[in-house]
Chain A
């Protein structure tokens, strides 16, 4: 009992701890008026100087979106979103004096420096190229020249539309069609910026590619769109990070990530999501409503999703894989941590269509405070997917008696040669382990961090080194003292 009291004190202490990335950047930002209608869609397209086919794509999506209602099936208590009270475009790079050369505002450089994302190549982490996106616009993409030598295209999707229109047109919306779901339709209508990656045949991308997303402006939503195409026999590892300032209103983030993996190609996609989670009373925070999907089109292609989700007031995302290519392999590794009033409903879909396809799902949920954390996943084996294999393991760890941990796996098997296995356990953090650590002189909060990191290790190990370290720290910070 003694320890429990200690625990509660620490909870109080830590609950007041500040979200480290909660500052705002004071830069002139070109924000269009709040509200959403066809004119806004046209305005966004115009601002980006888009070709007609793309405007058409947006308008079709918008008209379809108007016929839809927001989904209600998540294990989430979602505040109603007023889609007319959001600005759909905010450009922090717009200069007061129009049309001067596109030099980056030093304030922006400072912001990304502060976030640990240096945009000057000489300062950059070796071996990582970064596309930095603030609000609706890509601020800068580093190492582009070096990548270009190998034929790799890494730029913002806005630039890609202009410079590589055929590639974008060929693949955009083919993995996540605008009719896919409510938020996909919304994103397709108003998406602003995001990254575009193309790895040509036979090329192994020599460095990690990374996009850093930042919401800054007040009252805006971020609707980024990322498209990654890995051509035959290519390889790329891609990282995504995100933060937002502390605001007491909810900010909307509705992104789409599409990945196309061709013959024998391999893509690793890692996310460390640390959007502002709201304060300790559940006020504010980002609504993270994302559609991510990869299509393993080629034979023996591989895709792995790794995600560490610690931020956002609400997380609603299911990075998925469609395994069409025979012999393709997909993996999903996830750590989702919720504290205070955070809610997460996350998981994956593995759709086995090709023969001898294999998928692995490892999910680790950690709930603390008054948070709700749900794993939701679908494993589907189609009629023709002979020899399909899936193994899923979903564990939940509960810290505190007022949080919830839920597991909703769906399995739909139509092929007799398939083997699909699912295991799940839910338990609380072991008092014996805590005591053991205490006895060895490790303070309670460190012990919790230690044990949680151990628990999440299978997933953290899948992250690239730089990210793994960051993710570990993040887990500690988000959780400290959450045991009570």
Chain B
């Protein structure tokens, strides 16, 4: 599904990623762990095409297509979804209008007609229940005045609406209490299908206990220094990241 080859990238002239190689097959859930500043968020931003980051070398293909030549919205239409670490507030744009615009843009890219209004509202109703958001959601502005937990639930809700084939969860667990974490994680699990894959970025094992990743990568200084199974999370929980620095 996703194939990253020898990726170098920088922001404001500062090199952050130094040769990333990563392959994620259909149906796999990968986790990416590392300390602050290791380049985790840089990688997720580059996959979705954030304009502030510059790819200096390497390639990313998604289902065989060259991802780096696509605009952010084209990547979204291909089925890539990022649950943002800090979702931005957009005053004045209601969730209703926002989701409708997003959904219809995707349908248009697929050659489909816009979704009928009643069907759309029904879908909104159904999907918000997955993450236990209430019925006021539709008329609220995007993320505006949402609590930290609500914002993260809103991200998963949007994922439910857009049904991506590849989702990136960028520190979706940060700032969540135990209950919110459970809601988000269970929501995510409900949405999983055999062919969909995901990349989960986190510091902690907490979220991974719910999501049960197949493969875990350790990112240090812009490089993946270790790749292993679920046991890697336990190793980190017990002895931190230092043990991998020698490997690098």
Is there any pair of Cβ atoms, one from A and one from B, under 8 angstroms apart in the complex?
no
Residues of chain A whose beta carbon lies under 8 Å from any beta carbon of chain B: none
Residues of chain B whose beta carbon lies under 8 Å from any beta carbon of chain A: none
